[in-house]
Amino acid sequence: MTALVEAEVDGDKLTHDEIAAFFVLLSVAGNDTTRHTTSHALRALTLNPDQRALLPEHLPTAVEEFVRWATPVLTFRRTATRHVELHGQRIGEGEKVVLFYHSGNRDEDGFADPWRFDVTRDPNHHVGSAAAARTTVSAHRWRACSCARFSASCFPVPDIEGGEPELFKGAAFIHGVKRMPCSFTPTA
């Protein structure tokens, strides 16, 4: 936030309202995505104990698979800034397009056995956080966040299990978990 407040381009700084709006965007974007990914991942690890056993040795690749598997952001609508042809489909400048990330993340042309949850999957060119966001602060942030969460919660609570999740109903934007019962043995 300090960097944003202090940023200056050609003598212009962001206004108070712009900074406030961006703060809200960062808070929401960084919150919904990482917590729903954590819930979906815990459920997948519960259903796939063989993958769970591999987790401590494969945390970096596992975190990528969590995002691919969960795809917490389902869609985004963008506007083409130039004419482009994609797989024989012409998209004109100014046309609106929708990206279906959950479809991309189960694409047989991109992933071997896409319906298999595999924490060792490598390479894993998922589009769960989209190409543009992969090199930004957000991508570093969610990777660090997810690694930290799983090292902090899963390893000290090795028997934690995620039950049947109740998903957001009718949601076209966020693949969200409304509630999910969890069980574990408390330590003293």
Tokens of 154: 């899963």
Q: Binding ligand HEM by CB under 6 A: which of 21, 56, 76, 155?
A: 76
Is 124 an interacting residue with respect to ligand HEM (CB under 6 A)?
A: no
Residue 180 near residue 44 (C-beta atoms within 8 A): no
Q: Using the minimum distance from each CB to ligand HEM, give the nearer residue, 1 or 188.
A: 1
Is 133 an interacting residue with respect to ligand HEM (CB under 6 A)?
A: yes
Binding mask 137-176 for ligand HEM (x = CB under 6 A): -x--xx----------------------------------
Q: Using the minimum distance from each CB to ligand HEM, give the nearer residue, 53 or 97.
A: 97
Distance spanning both ends of the chain, measured CA to CA: 39
Q: Using the minimum distance from each CB to ligand HEM, give the nearer residue, 29 or 91.
A: 29
On the CB side of 183, CA atoms within 13 Å amount to 3
Q: Using the minimum distance from each CB to ligand HEM, give the nearer residue, 32 or 161.
A: 32
Rounded CA-CA distance 168/46 in Å is 20
Is 35 an interacting residue with respect to ligand HEM (CB under 6 A)?
A: no
Q: Binding ligand HEM by CB under 6 A: which of 33, 39, 105, 124?
A: 33
**Within 10 A of 175 (CB to CB), how many other CB atoms are there?**
22
Which residues here bind ligand HEM, judged by CB under 6 A? 25-26, 29-30, 33-34, 37, 67, 72-73, 76, 99, 101, 128-130, 132-133, 138, 141-142
